Structures are given as structure tokens and as C-alpha cells.
Amino acid sequence: MRAATLCLCFGLAGCLPITAALWSQLSERANEPVACATKDECDVSWQKAIEWVSERCAFKIQTQTEDLVETEGPLPAPSNDVACRLDRVSTGEAGSAQFEITARCGNFFGCVPEPLYLRAAFHDEMRAAIAAARMPASSPRE
């Protein structure tokens, strides 16, 4: 029994650096700003961000303006469903903005999905959408 316990402890300890490294990478992705440069680019990206919230957050959209999207919720424990708030914050330059998402639940023990993971996924997908919006439209081949 003692040998089994030691093996389990050493095995779990071996996973900790990997978990910490992955958590660190996830945190970097979640905290890197999502920014658009022009009003047209921001308007298109904002619509994609609203779709993202509608599809991936657990609750229905309760409030939607040109600068804010907020879902219902969160529910109190034991619910671990995630509620989201999305803000479009002007950066002061002509039409440019940053998108900020907040995810939370009412469960002290954690949310599903983890809010940091949800923010990282949002940031990754929005950066890709903004990059795609910046690419010139290709002309059809003849």
C-alpha cells in the first residue's frame, strides 16, 4: 500500500511542471489583447464576437448594445455554467477598439469550461477573424 501511494505521489508530481507550463501558455493567450484597427474591421469583428458569445457561453444574451454584450447568469452554486460579458473598448484612434471578455460562474469550486480557457479560446478565434478581415479579397480565377 505504501509503495502504491509513493508511486501515485511521484507520478502526480511529474505532471505538475507540464500543467504549470500549459497553464502559463493559456494565461498568455487569454491576456494578449484583441484589437481591431478600423471602424469597418471592428464592426465585422464585433458581430463575430457576438456570435461567439451566443454559441459558447451557457446563458442567453440578456443585454446587447454597440459596446456591450452580456448574458444572463451566472446561477448560484452548484451550477458551474459560465456567464459572459463582452466589452468593446475604444482605443481613441479613429474607429479602433479592443474586445474584452469576462467569464464567470457562481460555483466556488470552478466553472465548466474554465474561464481562463474560455478567454484564451475567444482571443485566439477573434485574432484569427481580425487577421482574416485584414486580408484583401481575392479575385475569382478565370
For the cut 70, the answer to whether the pLDDT of residue 10 exceeds it is no
d(Cα 119, Cα 105) in Å, to the nearest integer? 14
Q: What is the pLDDT of residue 87?
A: 97
Average pLDDT of the residues in 11-34: 74
Q: What is the pLDDT of residue 11?
A: 41
pTM exceeding 0.75: yes
Top-confidence residue, 75 or 53: 53
The pLDDT > 90 percentage for the chain reads 56
Domain architecture of the chain: domains with CATH: 32-134 (3.30.310)
pLDDT tens column, 78-136:
889 999 999 999 998 888 999 999 999 888 888 888 999 999 999 999 999 899 888 87
Q: What is the pLDDT of residue 50?
A: 97
